[in-house]
Amino acid sequence: MTDRGEFGRILAENERYTESFDRSALTPAPLSGLAIVACMDARLDVEEALGLRTGDAHIIRNAGGIATDDVIRSLIVSQQLLGTDEIVVIGHTRCGLLDADETALRARLSAATGRDFGLEFGSFDDLEARVRASVEQLRTHPWLKPVPVHGLIFDVSTGRLHEVA
Ligand SMILES: [Zn+2]
């Protein structure tokens, strides 16, 4: 096989995965009824940390685990079409967005591309407050069902989850 680097490696891993694949009977509705909103951080393995298996939960991830419009969109699909009835928001220690300098990032992008860049990256300086704000937003969002919403912080040093909302 020609060396395609990391991309080649993941395709080879998938070949091995199909050899023991036994989940073809799963339906799209998550078995646990959970929808999880989490940061994309590579150190946070949501399934492993929460004891979830394939088919158990919707896991919606982005930088910061922030309840953006697109996360809301996914949660509506999750609740309305696929029957989830509980939400868990997970932030984590040492997040890349914690104390990130958005002004500098925007200036760097503008300098590199010659175009102004107005995107909000969602940086924050208080992790617990950030998670609580997302939880509150999801609890009160008019288009989401009034389901239980929990807030957790994952400690990347210990693997432990702390409940903050
Ligand atoms: Zn993060």
Report how far ligand 1's centroid is from the alpha carbon of 25 (Å).
33
The per-residue pLDDT of the chain, averaged, comes to 96
Average pLDDT in the 130-147 region? 98
Distance separating alpha carbons of residues 145 and 79, to the nearest angstrom? 7
Dihedral class, residue 77 (left if φ above 0, else alpha if ψ from -120 to 50, else beta): alpha
pTM for this predicted structure:
0.94
Contact 155, 92 (CB under 8 A): yes
Measured in angstroms, how far is the CA atom of residue 42 from the centroid of ligand 1?
8
**Residues constituting the chain:** 165
Distance 91 CA to ligand 1 centre (A): 7
Q: Are 89 and 149 in contact (CB under 8 A)?
A: yes
Six-digit token string for 92: 């984590």
The values of phi and psi at residue 162, to 5°, are: -115, 135
State the distance from the centre of ligand 1 to the C-alpha of 99, rounded, in angstroms. Answer: 11
Neighbours of 37 (CB within 10 A): 31
Tell me: the pLDDT tens digits for 61-98? 999 999 999 999 999 999 999 999 999 999 999 999 99
Q: What is the pLDDT of residue 53?
A: 96
